[in-house]
Amino acid sequence: MKKIAWITFGSLSILVGLYPIIYFLVDRRFGLLSSKTLELLSDSLWNIAFYGHIILGGIALLVGWVQFSPKLRRNRMSLHRNIGKLYILSVLISAVCGVYIAQFATGGISNVIGFSLSGVVWFTTTFLAYTSVRKGQITKHQNFMIYSYAVCFSAVTLRIWLPLLTALTDDFIIAYRIVGWLSWVPNLIVAYYFIKRNSVHNLPSRN
């Protein structure tokens, strides 16, 4: 079961990480862009932030999942560190871009707040992961990286929840307002319990 879960986790991360390529292959009014005004689509700053967010966010999703491989950390520490540097740089830039474009989010104020907070949490947990490893606080570093990738993985969970909620509500806007929070908050809750379980398992024996 662990192997199946790992393969599924990696496959989803790769597939959605490559998803931004679609925006360069099809008409520009693809996906959520079809809900944006022509004025916004022609705004240079918004375009820089949008493409910065999806491209670097895609890179973070593509490379971040392999960092959870104990085998990689054990046998290829230099590679682990280099991938980590790429992930952190990608996230910090993508998160800032994400907070900016969140101010124009489809769905109104609920999604402005939801996506803005996800960007802030993503940036903060990643930055704390970086500062922790610089101080040699490995456990803190690992925990913050779990939280960071939980938010990063919202790109995957959003694409799972959105079609399901759209089908259930028969209303894309309602579904998108829900997914503005559902795509990342439950991920953090799962990450919290994952970290808590690991900390219990790693407690020193009293025998």
121-144 confidence digits (pLDDT tens): 999 999 999 999 999 999 999 999
CA 169 to chain centre: 25
Query: pTM here?
Result: 0.90
Taking the chain, what is the end-to-end CA distance rounded to the nearest angstrom? 31
pLDDT in tens, 6-16: 899 999 999 99
Q: What is the sign, positive or negative, of the torsion defined by CA atoms of 201, 121, 52, 22?
A: positive
Instruction: Please give the Cα distance from 116 to 172 (Å, whole number).
Output: 20
User: Within 10 A of 21 (CB to CB), how many other CB atoms are there?
Assistant: 12
Among 84, 104, 80, smallest CA distance to 92 is for: 84
Per-residue pLDDT, averaged over 108-128, amounts to 98
